[in-house]
Amino acid sequence: MYEGVVQDLIDELGRLPGVGPKGAQRIAFHLLQADPADVRRLADVLLEVKAKVKFCSICFNVSQDDQCRICRDPRRDPSVLCVVEEYKDVVAIERTREFRGRYHVLGGAISPIDGVGPEQLRIRELMVRLADGTITEVILATDPNLEGEATATYLTRMLKPLELRVTRLASGLPVGGDLEYADEVTLGRAFAGRRSADD
């Protein structure tokens, strides 16, 4: 056993995702020898992030204000809504600069095995946003895995009566990948979703 407070630090670090007992030990010893100013900066930013970061009251994106940057931006197209699972998906899509509409962050995907059903996601809030008719297209950008597909299927069924355009991100070969290394499902989808070559 380590000296009390060192063991406490190792225990706390070991609770972080992706940090095992050996990793926690390694980080703890690094911090023991680190410049106190560096450690203080890390502690400060931890407290700051919890104090400052809120969730946007409209789209549930991470925000430092009541409404996030994207919801406040009048240049964003209010008629197109992109539904994603998590905040990090918003960041990934923003990085492409392909999408000029707004977002709705569900806060996860339907996963019965983890006890996440539609009630745990922000689907009711999504339906409220769609009620006034401003939004005419909903892009379902959940992850292309089992949970994400289940969520998209569920939402498609929910949105059907609203007579909106509901789309799903294309599945296919990743750009820069090798055809021979693509799994069968991806390759099958790439065939099913093939487009005219002069598009």
Nearer to a second copy by Cβ, of 110 and 159: the residue is 110
Q: At what angle do helices 123-130 and 146-159 cross, to 10 degrees?
A: 40
- Binding string to a second copy for residues 40 to 79, with x set by CB under 8 A, is what? xxxxxxxxxxx-xx--------xxx----x----------
Q: Please, are residues 84 and 90 in contact by the beta-carbon 8 Å criterion?
A: yes
CB neighbours (10 Å) of residue 123? 20
Which of 66, 72, 79, 88 is close enough to bind a second copy by CB under 8 A?
Answer: 88
In angstroms, how far is CA 149 from the centroid of its own chain? Answer: 15
Task: Say how far apart CA 82 and CA 103 lie, in whole Å.
Answer: 5
**Residues touching a second copy, count (CB under 8 A):** 48
Which of 21, 32, 99, 158 is close enough to bind a second copy by CB under 8 A?
Answer: 32
Q: How far apart are the first and last CA of the chain?
A: 66
Q: Is the dihedral of CA 139, 142, 146, 150 positive or negative?
A: negative
**Rule CB under 8 A: is residue 121 a binding residue for a second copy?**
no
Q: Please, are residues 80 and 102 in contact by the beta-carbon 8 Å criterion?
A: yes
- Binding string to a second copy for residues 130 to 169, with x set by CB under 8 A, is what? ----------------------------------------
**Rule CB under 8 A: is residue 92 a binding residue for a second copy?**
no
In angstroms, how far is CA 51 from the centroid of its own chain? Answer: 21
Which of 29, 125, 166, 167 is close enough to bind a second copy by CB under 8 A?
Answer: 29
What are the residues binding a second copy (CB under 8 A)?
1-6, 8-9, 12-13, 15-19, 23, 25-32, 36, 38-50, 52-53, 62-64, 69, 86-88, 91
